[in-house]
A and B are shown apart, each in its own frame.
Chain A
C-alpha cells in the first residue's frame, strides 16, 4: 500500500516504551499511520492514550528515557529510524512543524512574536540576510491571518488575544514552509467562534498542499477536518479508516462508546454513560439510549413555578477598574432559578459568566442590582447575616484540586461541609455521601492528589451535597474531563437532581453539554444576557444573532451533524 516517494509520513508498527529492559511499560503499541501531502489525518483518543507521544515521536521528540521502535518510520521517503540527532534537527522546522495547545505557554513569553517566527528561518539559514528573514516572517504572519503583522511582530504573546496568539504559533511553525504540520490540540484553549476561524486556517493550509496530523479528543472537530482518523486507546489502535466510515460505522466497542457518550441535543432527556452504539444487521450503527424516568412529571417541572424562585437576580451590574478603561463584566443581568431546575449558562470567555457565578455565590458584590436567595436578601448584606443560608447554595468548581486544602484527605474535605456532630454519625454520613456520588468508602483515607480527575470531581460533588443544598452552582464542572468520565459525571448530576430535587446553575462554554442537561438556558455575551428561554426551543430556533453564530460554530457549519448515528426507537 505504501509507495515510498508518495507518502509524507509512513509509519508501521510504532512502539514507544519506557522502563528497564524486561519490565517495560508499552506506552504506544503497534501504531501505523500514513499521511500524504494535502490530506489531514487525525489521531483521536482520551488523555493517556498516547496520541501526543506518537505525534512527537514523528519529530524525534518523544522524550528522554523513552525507546522508540518501529517496523517502518519514514519521513518524506527517508528512514527516520536511522537519523542521527543532527539529522533530526535539520528536519525539524523545515520538513515538519509543530503547533501545540495554548500559545501563551507554547511561545517563549520573553521574546516577541517576530523573534519567535523568525527563529526557524535563522536557525536553518534558509535566507541570505536579516531583511529577507524579516520579510518572510511578516509574510508568514499575514498568511496566518494576523492583522497588522508589522505591529504584531513587536508584541509579546501575553499582549495578544487567544486567537491571535494561536495564529502566531501557527505562523512560527509554518515560517520555513514545512511540508508536514503536526497540530496537537491546536484549538482546545479557544472559544468556539475563534476555534472555527483557526480550524479554517488549518484547512486552508491542507488545501494548499501540506499534510496535517491533527491530534484531538474532540470527535466533532475531527469529523470536520480529517479525511482519515485513527482512534487510540491506552496506546493501541482500536479503529482506523476514512473519517465518515469510522464515525458512522465504528467497529470497536470503545469508539462506539465514545461516540455514544457525547452530550448533545440528541442525548437530551436520556442517560449518557449507559448509551450504547450497536451494529444492526444492515451494517448501520445506532445509539441506544435509556430515557430518564418521568421527566415531564418530576421536580424539574418547567410548566409553571409553583413556589417562589430559589434565586432571584435583578438588574445586577458589575464593572472592574475605573474611568474609560473600565471593564463592564455584567450589565443589567436579570433571571430566576426555580426549584429543582437546571439553568444552563452558556457564553464565551469574557462573557461574564464567571463573574455571575461569583456574585451568585456571594464571593463578590454587585455594583448595582440585587440577588435574593429563598426570598431573603443575599447581595449587599454582611456575611454573618448570610451564614444561616449558606448551606442552601453550594459550589462545584472548575478545578476541584485547587479548591481542596492541600493538607486534607478526602474525609476532611467532605466533612468540612457537615454540621458538627459526633464521630460515628459523621462517619456514617460520609459513607452515605460517597455512596451517592459513586465512590468507594476506601477513598476517604486517600489524598485528592492520588485520585483521577473524575474522582476529584465526585469528591467536590460529595462535598457540595454534604450541606444538603437547594441549589448548586457548577462552574465548567466537566470541561477538563475525558468524554466517558464526563458522561458519568453528567449522569451523576442528573441523578442527584432527580433524586434530591437539587437545582443546578450549570455554566459551560460547551454547547453540547448545555443542550444535554439544561431546562432553561441563558446566553451571555459581553456581560449581557442576549437570549434566554427553555433549552430545546432556544437551540432549535435561536432568535439572537449571537446565539445563532454560537450554534453555527458548534455545529461546524454543516447542517447535518456529521456523527450520523441515529437514535434507536
Chain B
C-alpha cells in the first residue's frame, strides 16, 4: 500500500486545474496501489447499496418469518436470520444508508462549521484567533459520546439529534487543521508576493489563499468519515439513535449481543459491515493524503 509518489509525473488528473473526464479518471485509478483501488470500488458499491438496497435482495428488512428464526448462514440466508426470522443480509444492506448518510450528515456539519471557523481564526487578528481557539478547546472537551448523551437527554433519541451531536463534536478536528493550514498558506511566498503582480488583497484571498487551504479538506474529510460512521453506530448501539426495528448496524449489534450465545452471526455481520466501510474510507483517505504530501 506504500508507493512513493513519482515526482516527475505530471499532476494527478482531477486535482487542480487539469481537465476531468472519465478517461482521465480511469487512468488515474490505474496508477493507484491495489489497496486504494479496492477501497474506492468498495465505496462505490456501498453508495449503490445505500441508494438501491433492493437491487441485491428482495426480502423485507423489517419483518420476517418467525418460524425461520435463528437460522445459521447458508444458501437461503447468506448471513443467517435473527430471532424474529428477519434475513440478516437484507438488514445489513438496508442498514447501510443509516450509518453512511448520518455519518456524512454529521461530517457536513463538522466540515462547514470547522472550515468557516478555521479560516476566520487563521486570518483574524490575535483576539479573534484566541477566541475561536478557545471555542475549539471547549468543544473538544466534550467527547462525542458524552456530548451525544447530553443532546439526547435534552432532545430525545433520534437520527437527527445524534447527527447534530457528532457534528458539533467534530468541529474542532476540522477547525484546527484548517486553521493551521490557513496560517501556513498566509505566510507562503506565493501569497505575500501576489501584490507584486497587481493583485488586491481580496483577489489574493480568493485566488490563492482559500483554494490552497481548502484543498486539504476533502482529504481529511475522507479520512474522518470512518470515525463518523463508528460514532453513529456506537451511539445507536447504546440506544440513543434509531430505535428497533430499524436495521441500523449499531442497533443490530445491540440486539445481536443479547442472542450471541445462540446466534453468532447476528453479532458478526453488522460489525463486519461497519469495519469494512471504515477501512475503505481510511485506506482511500490515507492514499489521498500521501499523494498530497508530495504536492503541498
Q: Determine whether the beta carbon of B189 is less than 8 Å from that of A403.
A: yes
User: Contact partner of A390 among B8, B192, B197, B296, CB < 8 A?
Assistant: B197
Instruction: Contact check, B198 vs A407: say whether CB atoms are below 8 A apart.
Output: no
Stretch at the interface among A119-127, A180-188, A391-399: A391-399
Q: Mark B282-296, 1 if CB is under 8 A from A, else 0.
A: 000000000000111
With contact pairs A363-B193, A397-B189, A446-B10 given, residues A406 and B198 touching in the complex (Cβ less than 8 Å): no
Task: Known contacts A408-B17, A450-B10; decide if A402 and B198 are in contact (CB<8 Å).
Answer: no
**Would you call B7 and A395 a contact (CB within 8 A)?**
no
Q: Which of B193-211 contact A (CB under 8 A)?
A: 193, 195-198, 200-201, 208, 211
Nearest-Cβ distance from residue A19 to partner chain B, whole angstroms: 13
Binary contact readout A96-127 vs B (1 if CB under 8 angstroms, 0 otherwise): 00000000000000000000000000000000
Q: Is B212 an interface residue (CB 8 A)?
A: yes
In the assembled complex, the Cα of A403 lies from the Cα of B11 at a distance in Å of: 18
Residues 408-450 of A, flagged 1 when their CB comes within 8 A of B and 0 if not, give: 1100100011000000000000000000000000000111011
B17 engages A407 (CB within 8 Å): yes
Interchain CB contact under 8 A, A406 and B10 = no
B196-A407 in contact (CB<8A): no
For residue B190, CB closer than 8 A to chain A, the reply is yes
- B196, A409: Cβ atoms closer than 8 Å: no
Residues of A within 8 A of B198 (CB): 387, 390-391, 417, 467
| Given known contacts A399-B189, A404-B190, A447-B10, A361 and B196 CB-to-CB distance under 8 angstroms | yes
Q: Which residue of B lies closest to A400 (CB)?
A: B189
B215 within 8 Å of A (CB atoms): yes
Interface set, chain B 1-31, CB cutoff 8 A to A? 7-11, 16-17
Q: Is the CB of A407 within 8 A of B197?
A: no
- List residues 5-30 of chain A with CB under 8 A from any CB of chain B: none
Number of interface residues of A (CB under 8 A): 31
User: Are B212 and A397 in contact (CB-based, < 8 A)?
Assistant: no
- A360-389 interface code vs B (CB 8 A; 1 in, 0 out): 011100000000000000000001100100
Contacts of A404 in B (CB 8 A): 190
Question: Count the B residues whose beta carbon is within 8 Å of the partner chain — how many?
Answer: 25
Instruction: Report whether A450 and B215 are in contact in the complex, using a CB–CB cutoff of 8 Å.
Output: no
Whole-angstrom distance from the CB of B49 to the nearest CB of chain A?
35
Contact (Cβ within 8 A) A412 B189? no
For B197, what are the chain A residues with a Cβ–Cβ distance below 8 Å? 390, 416-417, 463, 467
Asked if B238 is at the interface (CB within 8 A of a chain A CB), the reply is: no
Contacting residues, chain A, for B201 (C-beta < 8 A): 383
Separation of A361 and B194 alpha carbons in the complex (Å): 11
In the complex where A383-B200, A407-B215 touch, is A447 in contact with B11 (Cβ < 8 A)? yes
**Known A387-B198, A397-B189, A402-B190; 12 more pairs at CB < 8 Å:** A363-B195, A390-B195, A395-B196, A402-B188, A405-B190, A405-B208, A406-B295, A412-B17, A416-B197, A417-B197, A417-B198, A447-B11
Which residues of A pack against B, CB within 8 Å?
361-363, 383-384, 387, 390-391, 393-395, 397, 399, 402-409, 412, 416-417, 445-447, 449-450, 463, 467
- By a beta-carbon cutoff of 8 Å, the part of chain B in contact with chain A is 7-11, 16-17, 188-190, 192-193, 195-198, 200-201, 208, 211-212, 215, 294-296
- Identify 8 residue pairs between A and B in the complex whose beta-carbon atoms are under 8 Å apart, listed by A's number: A362-B195, A383-B201, A391-B198, A393-B196, A395-B193, A403-B189, A416-B197, A467-B197
